[in-house]
Structures are given as structure tokens and as C-alpha cells.
Amino acid sequence: MTTITRKSNVLPGFGLTLGFTLFYLSVIVLIPLSATFLRSASLTWPEFWDTVTNARVVASYKLSFGASTLAALINGVFGFIVAWVLVRYSFPGKKLVDALVDLPFALPTAVAGIALTAVYAKNGWIGSLLEPHGIKVAFTPLGVLLALIFIGLPFVVRTIQPVLEDLEAEIEEAAASLGANRLQTFFRVILPTVFPALLTGVAMAFARALGEYGSVVFISGNMPMKTEITPLMIITKLEQYDYAGATAIAVVMLVISFALLLGINLLQAWSARR
């Protein structure tokens, strides 16, 4: 009998695949990011600091990071509920609902922004119902939040859904048979299993929302110091041919978002080891 001691791989060896991986990441990710940092380095430190701490730019940081974080957290809650319903229940139109979840992936962001503005403007279908109660959505930070929730929901649902499909209902029944109530079953059985995937989905939704432009630029109204997002500030700098200023703002966004995503990934790794 012949014993096979060497593990066979479908793909080529480690050296070739690692080389291709590093080359691909360098061309697609590292070189463009390096160019961003090099371009912003053409500014002196006082010029760089004045650009990234301008009052209008700082206001856009607060809106972009604040709305992106809040939208990701909201999607974390409701995305879990949507995924749970799609996995655990059968109902008429389930396939249609499942397909609608992916709609923000396929829909051009500019079209989404125009549609949301038309619906939530004060003369829109929903906006006209909210206006008498003093609730304004379009051209307010609330509209920005709504657009970011819209484009981020699929990331959470599609990340959690496979984990819930692998989580057998018998586990919940076993917990119930041991005397656990619904809250105990959720927090001690379901949530620990789903939590790493939930964190991943929230992180992806946050990253997607942070760089969103098309769907937000229409519904926000782009009012200085109120509803301007940071990507819009970068576009404005580019339209003024201030490439160094645009890349300086982009560098700040990159550093802060990388730090936040790194923290989320470390939290995810810590929760997976527990």
C-alpha cells in the first residue's frame, strides 16, 4: 500500500500563489494608496494641517463618521432580523424578499439617491406624510443616515445568513430542554455563534458607508457645515484642481477608517477565540 505523505493542492504551490497575491494587491491596493500619501506629502505640514482641520472639512468628518457608524449599528440590528426571517421562516414571496436584499448591490448609487430624494422630499410619497409632524428627511443629516442604511444593509444580511443556516434549530431546542428561556438562548447560544459574522457585516457596512458618494449627494442637499460628507469635500477639491488638498483629506479618512477597521478585526479575532 502506498502512503501519500505530501498534501496535494488544486492550485499551484505556495511560492507562485503568494507571488501572485502580492503582485495583485500591490497593483490594485498598495500602489494607489502609496500615491495618495506621496501626493499629499507635497504639502508642508502647516498647509496639510490647515487643509484637514478646516472647519468645513471637520464638519464633514463628523457627519461621515457619525452617520456611517450609526448606520452600521442600525444595520447590525435589523440586518440580523432580516437574515433570521429569511433563514428560519417560509412564507409567500420569500424568494422575492431575498432578491430585494441584493438590490442596493445592483442599483447604481446615483439612481438610489434620486429615488430616496423623490420619496422622502417634503412633496414625496413618504416625505409628505412626515412633513406635517415636523420630520424632515431629505436635505438633512437624517437623509444621509437613511441613504447609508440603504446601501449597507445587504452586507450585514449576506454575512450573517450563511452562519444562521449552519446553526441547527436542534441547538436551540436543547437549550430550551435544559431550562433556558428565550433571552438566555439568544445571548448564550445564538449570539456567541453569530457574533464574529455580525462584526464582519457591521465592519463591511461601515466601510461601504464611509466612502459612499452617489446615493448621499442627492438626498443630503450638500449644505456647508450641515449636510456635506467628506467624499464630497474630496470631489470639490478635485474640481478646484487642488489635488494635494484632496489627497490630504483622503489620507485622514484612510488612517481613521483603517484604525477603526483594525479595532473591529481585533475584536472579532478576540471573540472567535473565546
State the residue for C-alpha cell 412633513.
Answer: 131
Asked if 232 contacts 60 with a C-beta cutoff of 8 angstroms, the reply is yes
Q: Count of H helices and E strands in the chain?
A: 15, 0
Average pLDDT of the chain is 87
User: Is the pLDDT score of 271 beyond 80?
Assistant: no
Question: 102-128 pLDDT, tens per residue?
Answer: 988 888 888 989 999 999 998 889 999
This prediction's pTM: 0.86
User: Is the pLDDT score of 266 beyond 90?
Assistant: no
Asked if 170 contacts 89 with a C-beta cutoff of 8 angstroms, the reply is no
Give the percent of the chain with pLDDT over 70: 94
Residue 113 to residue 149: CA distance in whole angstroms: 12
158 grid coordinates: 449576506
- E-strand spans in the chain? none
User: Is the pLDDT score of 2 beyond 50?
Assistant: no
* pLDDT band per the 50, 70, 90 thresholds, residue 250: very high
So what's the pLDDT on residue 178?
Answer: 77
User: Which secondary structure element, helix H or strand E, spans residue 125, and what is its range?
Assistant: none
Q: What is the largest CA-CA distance in the chain?
A: 83
Question: 175-210 pLDDT, tens per residue?
Answer: 878 777 888 888 888 888 898 899 889 999 998 999
Residue 114 to residue 218: CA distance in whole angstroms: 6
Asked if 210 contacts 254 with a C-beta cutoff of 8 angstroms, the reply is no
